């Protein structure tokens, strides 16, 4: 409309012209305005067509198409520039998803653990090569089928974190089960991962046998070597003196053999005790009352009760009682050497029952073998008390630890943590 407005303004402020000239100016303004409108309309239509083409390409997943943006302040050109930026962002997002998908695929292929994904209808949507090898389906179609056809039904029913003993078509053993669920496109998907524990268990069993043989060899040599030496000495004395063998030497030798034999018998019996720990009888009981009864059994040193909280736990009261008897006896024997006492405390923290046995004794020896079976720093110790304590507490899902006191005074602290009932 600018040409028409210019012609009207010229006619209004200019001198009086002949009618023909006035008509000519007016016609030129109308034609110019129509021409400008036509050109502007074409540009608007071209911009809208470009925007629609770009949006159509985005709808089809083509993020490489770009629209030309002319300089200026045209809002439609801003729209085209915005669609171009959206295309760039979508293209970067698709590239990131593609890279993540490739990384996930390579990870699943490289995993030695079997991975299976099922949808909300229970059909298999993804299976990695390790899972295919597990069921002997390396060259067979599995996706879309029922997991039960391949022997995964029991594993899918197992809770997360459980240990499953199962025989699959191509392998059997013990499997650690991990589960996860998520939603994709509004549908629930479930992931199952099975980690073979057989190799790890075999290696750990091998190490356990090595440790056992090493301990047995050490203890047997310690006992049998002096027994054999004493037997040879007594044999030589008997050959030399006959019936006139000195009685005191004979008696001393036989007593030494008896002591060594008894020591060996206690060792074997202690190991049998560790190996034949009875099954747990889980029942709720008042831990604080049980600790009070145990503390009254120790009469050699003064035991101060610092705990005053009623604590209910679920466990085998007899076996846990043996744990606290052993720990309290160790604390008392250490305190006897310094003339100190023992403090017994208990409280609840973070869903756990904490029991602290603090002594004023000589402190812990400089070793990390306190919980190793048959390791002892006592002349007459068996070396199974702390091992047995840890075995029992860990069977209850708890933990036990020993440390020197942190307040700068001599002595040690035994800490037992047990889960509180829900």
pLDDT score for 131: 87
| Shared-domain flag, residues 176 and 239 | no
Find the helix or strand (DSSP H, E) in which 286 lies: strand 283-286
pLDDT score for 206: 62
Q: Is residue 203 part of a domain?
A: no
> Which of 6, 9, 25, 5 is CA-nearest to residue 17?
25
| Shared-domain flag, residues 72 and 116 | no
Q: Report residue 420 as tokens.
A: 């509180």
DSSP 356-377: EEEE-SS---S-S-TTSTT--S
Q: Report residue 322 as tokens.
A: 């043996």
Does residue 241 carry a pLDDT above 80?
A: no
pLDDT score for 180: 87
- CA 192/CA 158 separation, integer angstroms: 10
| Shared-domain flag, residues 290 and 412 | yes
Which residue is listed with tokens 């705990």? 307
pLDDT score for 361: 87
pLDDT, greater one: 7 or 200: 200
Surface-to-core class of residue 332, CB atoms within 10 Å of its CB (0-12 exposed, 13-18 middle, 19+ buried): buried
Confidence of residue 416 (pLDDT cuts 50, 70, 90): very high
| Shared-domain flag, residues 43 and 87 | yes
Does residue 346 carry a pLDDT above 90?
A: yes
| Shared-domain flag, residues 218 and 319 | no
Does residue 137 carry a pLDDT above 80?
A: yes
Last residue of a domain, one of 252, 275, 298: 275
Q: What is the DSSP letter of 300?
A: S
Does residue 227 carry a pLDDT above 60?
A: yes
Query: Per residue in 153-187, pLDDT tens?
Result: 888 888 888 888 888 877 777 888 888 888 877 78
| Shared-domain flag, residues 289 and 258 | no
Query: Per residue in 32-73, pLDDT tens?
Result: 555 655 655 666 666 677 777 777 777 777 777 777 777 766
pLDDT, greater one: 222 or 3: 222
Helix pair angle (317-336, 287-297), 10° resolution: 40
Query: Per residue in 209-222, pLDDT tens?
Result: 666 666 566 556 66
pLDDT, greater one: 184 or 124: 124
Please give, one letter per residue, the 3-state secondary structure of 177-218.
Answer: EEEEEEEECCEEEEEEEEEECHHHHHHHHHHHHHHHHHHHHH
- CA 98/CA 139 separation, integer angstroms: 26
Last residue of a domain, one of 61, 95, 129: 95
Helix pair angle (75-110, 19-59), 10° resolution: 10
Does residue 112 carry a pLDDT above 70?
A: yes
The CA-to-CA distance between both ends of the chain, in Å, stands at: 82
Confidence of residue 13 (pLDDT cuts 50, 70, 90): low
| Shared-domain flag, residues 412 and 298 | yes
Confidence of residue 381 (pLDDT cuts 50, 70, 90): very low
Please give, one letter per residue, the 3-state secondary structure of 213-246.
Answer: HHHHHHHHHHHHHHHHHHHHHHHHHHHHHHHHCC
Q: Report residue 194 as tokens.
A: 């099975």
Q: Is residue 133 part of a domain?
A: yes
Average pLDDT over residues 262-274: 62
> Which of 27, 32, 371, 52 is CA-nearest to residue 211?
371
| Shared-domain flag, residues 294 and 399 | yes
3-state secondary structure of 306: coil
Confidence of residue 232 (pLDDT cuts 50, 70, 90): confident
pLDDT score for 79: 74
Q: Is residue 251 part of a domain?
A: yes
Confidence of residue 394 (pLDDT cuts 50, 70, 90): confident
Q: Is residue 101 part of a domain?
A: no
| Shared-domain flag, residues 178 and 261 | no
Query: Per residue in 277-303, pLDDT tens?
Result: 667 788 999 999 989 888 887 778 888
| Shared-domain flag, residues 317 and 245 | no
* Average pLDDT value over all residues in the chain: 76
Does residue 400 carry a pLDDT above 70?
A: yes
Does residue 190 carry a pLDDT above 80?
A: yes
Query: Per residue in 404-413, pLDDT tens?
Result: 888 778 888 9
Q: How many percent of the chain have pLDDT more than 70?
A: 70
Residue 87 near residue 67, CB atoms below 8 Å = no
- CA 101/CA 104 separation, integer angstroms: 5
Last residue of a domain, one of 275, 293, 328: 275
pLDDT score for 273: 60
| Shared-domain flag, residues 181 and 230 | no
Q: Is residue 11 part of a domain?
A: yes
Select, from the ranges 17-26, 239-248, 392-401, the one with the highest average predicted confidence (pLDDT): 392-401
Does residue 379 carry a pLDDT above 50?
A: no
Does residue 375 carry a pLDDT above 50?
A: no
Range of the domain at 311: 283-419
Least confident of 92-101, 214-223, 243-252, 396-405: 214-223
Q: Which CATH number fits the domain that encloses residue 389?
A: 3.30.565.10
Q: Which CATH number fits the domain that encloses residue 144?
A: 3.30.450.20
Torsion of CA 246, 247, 250, 256, to 10 degrees: -130
Total domain count, the chain: 4
| Shared-domain flag, residues 308 and 403 | yes
């Amino acid at each position: 409309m600018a040409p028409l407005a210019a012609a009207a303004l010229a006619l209004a402020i200019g001198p009086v012209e002949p009618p023909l000239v006035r008509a000519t100016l007016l016609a030129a303004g109308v034609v110019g305005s129509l021409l400008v409108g036509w050109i502007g309309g074409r540009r608007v239509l071209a911009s809208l067509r470009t925007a629609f083409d770009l949006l159509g390409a985005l709808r089809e997943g083509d993020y490489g198409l770009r629209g030309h943006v002319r300089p200026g302040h045209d809002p439609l050109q801003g729209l085209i520039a915005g669609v171009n930026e959206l295309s760039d962002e979508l293209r970067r997002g698709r590239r990131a998803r593609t890279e993540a998908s490739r990384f996930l695929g390579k990870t699943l292929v490289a995993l030695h653990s079997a991975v299976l994904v099922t949808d909300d209808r229970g059909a298999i949507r993804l299976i990695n090569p390790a899972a295919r090898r597990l069921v002997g389906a390396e060259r067979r179609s599995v996706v879309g089928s029922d997991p039960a056809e391949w022997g995964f039904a029991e594993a899918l029913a197992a809770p997360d974190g459980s240990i499953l003993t199962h025989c699959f078509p191509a392998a059997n053993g013990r499997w650690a089960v991990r589960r996860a669920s998520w939603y994709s496109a509004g549908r629930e998907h479930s992931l199952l991962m099975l980690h073979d524990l057989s190799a790890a268990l075999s290696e750990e069993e091998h190490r356990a046998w090595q440790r056992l043989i090493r301990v047995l060899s050490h203890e047997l040599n310690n006992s049998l070597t002096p027994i054999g030496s004493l037997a040879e000495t007594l044999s030589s004395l008997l050959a030399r003196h006959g019936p006139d063998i000195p009685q005191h030497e004979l008696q001393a030798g036989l007593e030494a053999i008896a002591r060594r034999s008894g020591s060996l018998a206690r060792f074997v019996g202690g190991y049998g005790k560790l190996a034949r720990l009875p099954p747990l009888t889980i029942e709720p009981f008042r831990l604080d009352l049980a600790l009070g009864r145990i503390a009254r059994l120790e009469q050699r040193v003064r035991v101060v009760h610092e705990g005053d909280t009623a604590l209910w736990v679920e466990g085998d009261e007899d076996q846990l009682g043996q744990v606290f008897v052993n720990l309290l006896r160790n604390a008392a024997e250490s305190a006897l050497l310094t003339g100190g006492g023992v403090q017994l405390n208990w409280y609840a923290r973070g869903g756990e029952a904490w029991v602290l046995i603090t002594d004023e004794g000589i402190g812990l020896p400089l070793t990390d073998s306190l919980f190793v079976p048959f390791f002892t720093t006592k002349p007459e110790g068996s070396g199974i008390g702390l091992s047995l304590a840890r075995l029992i507490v860990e069977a209850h899902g708890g933990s036990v630890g020993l440390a020197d006191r942190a307040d700068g005074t001599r002595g040690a602290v035994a800490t037992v943590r047990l889960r509180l009932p829900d």
